[in-house]
Amino acid sequence: MRIGTVDIPENLSYTNTHLWIKMQNGICTLGWTDYIQENAGDVIYLELADIGTPIEVDQEFGSIETSKWVDKLYSPLNGRVVEVNKKATSRPEVVNEAPFAEGWFVKIEPQSEIGFQHLMSPLEYFEYLKLCEVE
């Protein structure tokens, strides 16, 4: 699925803070969507929580900076960080180059079925981006 030049892969879930989430073998991988990486600019600094860090919904798990902008990264789920993408922290431009592949942020082991922020389907995220564009 695409909106303009922006990719919305159909096998992922999305948050309203423009994170994508992929659930596989009981582990959630989180990353930045194509939309936000396209709009925020070239990533020059990425800081991520350490492996083992317990994370709750809406709790900060990192921060990301472009040349003139910065924001914190907030978790959409409860759990524990089990893997951190060191390649992305040492070479942040990979977040722009491959947001859905080598540019992922962290892998989180969810604490339970509950404790997930509302996630959007690709279609819902598509509609949400239309609203973002209007704003």
Partner 1 sequence: MASPDTVRLSIAAAITLGFKRGKFYRNARLGCINLLMEYDDGCKANCLYCGQAREASNDPECKSLIRVQWPSYPLADVISATKEAALTDSSLQRVCISSLTSPGAPEDLLKIVKEVKTGTGLKVSTLITPTAFKKSDLKAIKDAGAENITIAVDIATPELFNKLRGKEARGPHKWDRYIRGIKEAVEVAGNGHNAVGVHLIIGLGETELESVRFIQTCYDIGSRVHLFSFFPEKGTAMEKQFQPPMDQYRRIQLARYLIDRGLTQFDNMRFKSGRLADFGLPTRKTLAIVRQGTPFMTTGCSGCNRPFANETPTQAMQGLFRNYPFPPDPKDIQIIQNQLKI
Considering the complex, state which of residue 72 and residue 87 has its C-beta at the smaller distance from partner 1.
72
**Binding of partner 1 at residue 93 (CB under 8 A)?**
no
**Binding of partner 1 at residue 66 (CB under 8 A)?**
yes
DSSP string, the chain: -EETTEE--TT-EE-TTSEEEEEETTEEEEEE-HHHHHHH--EEEEEEPPTT-EE-TT-EEEEEEETTEEEEEE-SB-EEEEEE-HHHHHSTTHHHH-TTTTT--EEEEESSSS-BPP-B-HHHHHHHHHHHHH-
**Binding of partner 1 at residue 63 (CB under 8 A)?**
yes
**Binding of partner 1 at residue 123 (CB under 8 A)?**
no
Considering the complex, state which of residue 7 and residue 65 has its C-beta at the smaller distance from partner 1.
65
Query: In the structure encoding, which two tokens stand for residue 98, read together?
Result: 């491959």
Considering the complex, state which of residue 41 and residue 54 has its C-beta at the smaller distance from partner 1.
41
**Binding of partner 1 at residue 54 (CB under 8 A)?**
no
Exactly one of 1, 11, 45, 51 binds partner 1 (CB under 8 A); which one?
Answer: 45
Binding site for partner 1 (CB under 8 A): 38-42, 45, 63, 65-72
